[in-house]
A and B are shown apart, each in its own frame.
Chain A
């Protein structure tokens, strides 16, 4: 079997491990690194439950080979805390009832984070488009869109307050 020694940067930490080339990033994250926040859904690109960010952009870990990701920044839901505090998206999802069974949530939150990092003031339509690769079977999406909008508003308020404080 073709096995390689790889160094992967996951959530800011370097991990060196032996990986068969036919093992997907999803499998390595869950089985070798025990980062089980990334979910195993359809395994065929049709649900988005396995979404992670690579260099800030959402990809499907079930269709990615770790051998192609050395030297890239991989971010999973476990790496989303900022300075020991939950990301505004995480708080908004919890408070707005945007999490039901929770299976889609890590992927949805990461897709939303990629959007907000690129566009801090998205419209509802832009949010819906950014999340169109993430299937949710529970919420009907309304609460999810509401939660992302709430997080956008919080971040904006916080920035305004900071700016006022400075002026």
Chain B
């Protein structure tokens, strides 16, 4: 690792003052499970690293009705899993967090860090940038090994997949992020936080270099809500999934009154599927209905050459997540 200056402010105001308004000069440090890897690989070269774990108001979990759930950005994945109210009311979130199987990473990694972790695209991690282009501007992903790259939202110029397993579940629940910066606090839906970068100067999420994600706010569970996350993985541990689906359905009797279906690890952003949602609305969930929704979710998917298999994996993830939510399908 290159040398950097380390600072550890105790208030968010101090932290923001210590962060540069230009990307590249400073980096935020939470659990460090991704940032240290980026520093070692020389992908980021900050002159200053700002630890946010000493800021008290970024910690803690609270749940109450009707307020819902508040998760501080520096809550660890293990703390999230240990919380009884989250286990009881937000199964899709728990199942997504449980997918990060390594206890070591769960003890260190934070919820804010999971949302802000950088893509695992091997071209990005080898220093070719988010858009992974060679000197002549051609995409290394399209020309090269794209077996783990995007099957949706892959019209370019970005082809990496968003690596967060928690984001699809949070989006399915309609969660919002609270962000603090030089101009105070703002709030946005998690869904709108992520974006497909159009140039190398942009990040893959809506954050200024001197803004900090401070809290994640999840609405209270509505009556009749069922939810689940299903992951398809190559290895059970120490790896990211190949495709995930998080679903939250509100049932009225047997019928689906509202539906959220969000895919993960298949597009440069967590990928909500209005097509799948439409296929579920007003229906009683059966195997056929779940299959139809799954087909609809990948209708617009397209292979980049070596990742066609991911289309089927995404389809399976959606079908099983729906079945798991209503209690019929394979559980894990």
Contact = CB atoms under 8 A, between A and B. Distances in A.
Given A22-B4, A24-B36, A132-B103, A47 B238 contact: yes
29 contacts: A2-B4, A21-B5, A21-B6, A22-B1, A22-B2, A22-B4, A24-B1, A24-B36, A45-B105, A46-B238, A46-B239, A51-B104, A57-B103, A58-B103, A59-B104, A60-B104, A63-B32, A63-B37, A63-B108, A67-B8, A68-B8, A114-B103, A129-B103, A130-B103, A132-B101, A132-B236, A132-B237, A132-B238, A133-B238
Interface in B293-307: none
Contacts of A45: 33, 36-37, 102, 104-105
Given A2-B5, A133-B102, 10 more contacts: A46-B239, A48-B238, A57-B107, A63-B37, A64-B32, A68-B8, A132-B238, A133-B101, A133-B105, A133-B238
Which interface class (under 10, 10 to 19, 20 to 34, 35 or more) fits B? 20 to 34
A20 B5 CA distance: 9
Contacts of A20: 3
B37 A1 contact: no
A58 B36 CA distance: 18
B27 to A, nearest CB: 12
B5 A133 contact: no
Contact of A44 (B37, B53, B102, B236): B37
Contact of B6 (A2, A47, A59, A62): A2
Interface of A: 1-2, 4, 20-24, 43-48, 51, 57-60, 62-65, 67-68, 111, 114, 129-130, 132-133, 135
B51 A63 contact: no
